[in-house]
Structure 1
Amino acid sequence: MNDTAKRMPGGEVLERETRGPVTILTLNRPAARNSLSEELIGAVTRAIGDLGRSDDVRAVVITGAGSAFSSGHDLKELTAHRNDPDRGRAFFEKTLKACSEMMLSIVRCPKPVIAAVNGIATAAGCQLVATCDLAVASVDARFATPGVNIGLFCSTPMVALSRNLSRKASMEMLLLGEMIGADDAKACGLVNRVVAADRVVNEAVELGRKIAEKPKATLKIGKEAFYRQLEMPLEEAYAYASSVMVENMLHDEAEEGIGAFLDKREPRWPR
């Protein structure tokens, strides 16, 4: 695959930077508006897996190089496979499965994953924002699921949108395919904070650092429980959450944290 012109000079499709307990992953195909090629999808999935297992990493930030966060799937790469004997079916299936696995790797990652959205986040790029646990957007960020405009309904982005936004907000984005600004994205729950463009990554890192100060095992327990209970009926969710809290109460972190609160002192978290 000829990706040379689509990377920063001398760079990989995914760059890593460490800032204390926070690792920044930068989608690095700026000339292609950080579209999610097969190579980039694989790189993100592997990186999230590695960082989830690292004892040194407490939070992950995902951002984009250049003027875009991500424009979604690499349509040129997909279209090139229409000349395959099966008209591209096998490649389309492989790519969409890989993209779904990438999104699931973020949900399953025991560390919080924060999107730092610079510029546009469209289609699967918007899906990536919705999938992250938190999202910070620059004031000039814009979001869309525009597939309906080119005859390709954003069905996989729909999964993340419908689980994060209201039904009406999700359907409006999916049916109209129009761009929305950062303030509207915040109002409908797609992002948490809107900041100046030159602050977006630093703001996301600061969120990660604040989270890193919290007890590690408690965060892991809580993130997993959050996503699992979302898919349960109400009564089942309460039963599950209650069992999680019982196990959490028996953990050393809860014993130390509650003891510190009662003793009116700062907790000394187990490492």
Structure 2
Amino acid sequence: MSDIHVHLRNNIFWLLLDRPPLNALTVAMLEKLTLSLKQAIKLAPHLIVVTGMGDQGFCAGVDLPDDSEAQRAELLHMARNTEIAFDELHLHRIPTTALLKGSVFGPGCELASLCDTIIAREDAMFRLPAVNAKIFPNAISMRLPAMIGRETTNRLVQNGETLNAQEALRLGLVHQIVPRHRFLLDTEELLVMLATVGKSA
């Protein structure tokens, strides 16, 4: 069974991370994610949504079969390819949205930052990756500093602080918070609006 599912509905292209319990990334998932983003470019949807299956988390950490340098190098290579695919989406003016809930830790924060819009459920918790756990180079060096400032990015990386959704919103790490009991209804309305804006862009 695939750890990443895709489907197109109402001109919204969905990318679903599905690796319980916390959707930790693997080399294979990053490869499928990159290929799916390239597929989306050909389909030219009005919006791309990246989210996690299950209720516990969007994405937390990475999972390597062993801790070898070769495995780590392959993971970093695939992560860079994923960033390039997001860059191509920006060039084609296809907007992207990260839909977050539960744990958004380490690479999960990095991945979300690659999207244009970040919507979080009120129970989402955020933690930037430690210095030796970063896998998306542009996320830490460019995207996150542009969102929350370089000083704040460095502090969160160095201290390993965990932020709740309200703190993340205050810092600029997310753009909107949705109440848990209205998550499905409110996000559907928001996504339709974002897709409409994307179509007219």
TM-score scaled by length of structure 1: 0.65
The corresponding residue for 1:28 is 18
User: What 5-or-longer segments of structure 2 have no aligned partner?
Assistant: none
Distance 1:128 1:51 in 2: 17
Cα displacement string for residues 188-216 of structure 1 (whole angstroms, at most 9, x for unaligned residues):
11111001235445544433322332474
The match for 2:50 among 62, 65, 80 is: 62
The corresponding residue for 1:142 is 125
Distance 1:200 1:59 in 2: 19
**Structure 2 counterpart SS, 1:36:** coil
The corresponding residue for 2:9 is 19
Gap change, CA 1:215 and 1:164, over 3 Å in 2: closer
**CA-atom RMSD, angstroms?**
2.1
How far 1:174 moved relative to its partner? 0.7
Name the structure where helix makes up a greater proportion of residues.
1
The corresponding residue for 1:212 is 195
The corresponding residue for 2:88 is 108
User: What 5-or-longer segments of structure 1 have no aligned partner?
Assistant: 1-10, 83-87, 220-271
Report how many residues are paired: 194
Distance 2:190 2:119 in 1: 9
Q: Is 2:35 the counterpart of 1:46?
A: yes
Segments ≥4 residues shifted beyond 6 Å: none
What one-letter code is carried by the residue in structure 2 that aligns with 1:99? A
What one-letter code is carried by the residue in structure 2 that aligns with 1:45? T
Query: Which shows bigger deviation, 190-199 or 119-128?
Result: 190-199
How far 1:183 moved relative to its partner? 0.8
The corresponding residue for 2:69 is 89
Name the structure where strand makes up a greater proportion of residues.
2
Distance 2:198 2:127 in 1: 36
Distance 1:40 1:201 in 2: 25
Gap change, CA 1:60 and 1:205, over 3 Å in 2: farther
Matches of residues 1-271 of structure 1 in structure 2 within 5 Å? 11-31=1-21, 33-55=22-44, 57-66=45-54, 67-74=56-63, 77=64, 80=66, 82=67, 88-109=68-89, 110=92, 111-147=94-130, 152=132, 154=134, 156=137, 157-159=139-141, 160-200=143-183, 202-214=185-197, 216=199, 219=201
Cα displacement string for residues 136-162 of structure 1 (whole angstroms, at most 9, x for unaligned residues):
0010001102425xxx25373522322
Cα displacement string for residues 52-88 of structure 1 (whole angstroms, at most 9, x for unaligned residues):
2214x210111111111000322xx15x1x4xxxxx2
**Structure 1 counterpart SS, 2:177:** strand
Gap change, CA 1:195 and 1:91, over 3 Å in 2: same
Distance 1:97 1:46 in 2: 14
What one-letter code is carried by the residue in structure 2 that aligns with 1:206? E
TM-score scaled by length of structure 2: 0.86
Structure ID, larger Rg: 1
Distance 1:59 1:202 in 2: 18
How far 1:166 moved relative to its partner? 1.1
Percent of aligned pairs with the same residue?
A: 24
Distance 2:2 2:120 in 1: 24
How far 1:40 moved relative to its partner? 0.8
Greater relative CO, 1 or 2 (CA 8 Å, sep 6+): 2
**Structure 2 counterpart SS, 1:164:** helix
